[in-house]
Amino acid sequence: MPKEMQQQDASAKEAKARIIPEVDRDYIRKIAAKAKEMRIKAGYSSYESFAMHAGINRNSYFRFEKKSAETGENFTIALLLKVTRGLNMTMTDFFHDIK
């Protein structure tokens, strides 16, 4: 891909990322941090082992746990459903203390 097109792609992604209000990014960060905390409590010391258990691509789960926690990067509800199922939790249980 030509450099000019790569720069346009990067600019478009940055613009798209800014659409998410900061208050929502805070919730995304909390959700990702909670998933990591629950993964560790469930006995999965690595994100790779949990991703395999939950049927999630390890790179997708890594991005969710790391990028979302750091930057508030968005993720899909389908991914979150796989995470909660992998933790043997309902969405209600997962979200009960996230404010």
Each domain of the chain, given as residue ranges in start order, spans 22-95
- Section 11-39 average pLDDT: 83
If you average pLDDT over residues 80-98, what whole number do you get? Answer: 95
At residue 3 the predicted structure's pLDDT band, cuts being 50, 70 and 90, is low
What is the three-state SS of the chain? Answer: CCHHHHHHHHHHHHHHHCCCCHHHHHHHHHHHHHHHHHHHHCCCCCHHHHHHHHCCCHHHHHHHHHHHHHHCCCCCHHHHHHHHHHCCCCHHHHHCCCC
In CATH, which superfamily holds the domain spanning 22-95?
lambda repressor-like DNA-binding domains (1.10.260.40)
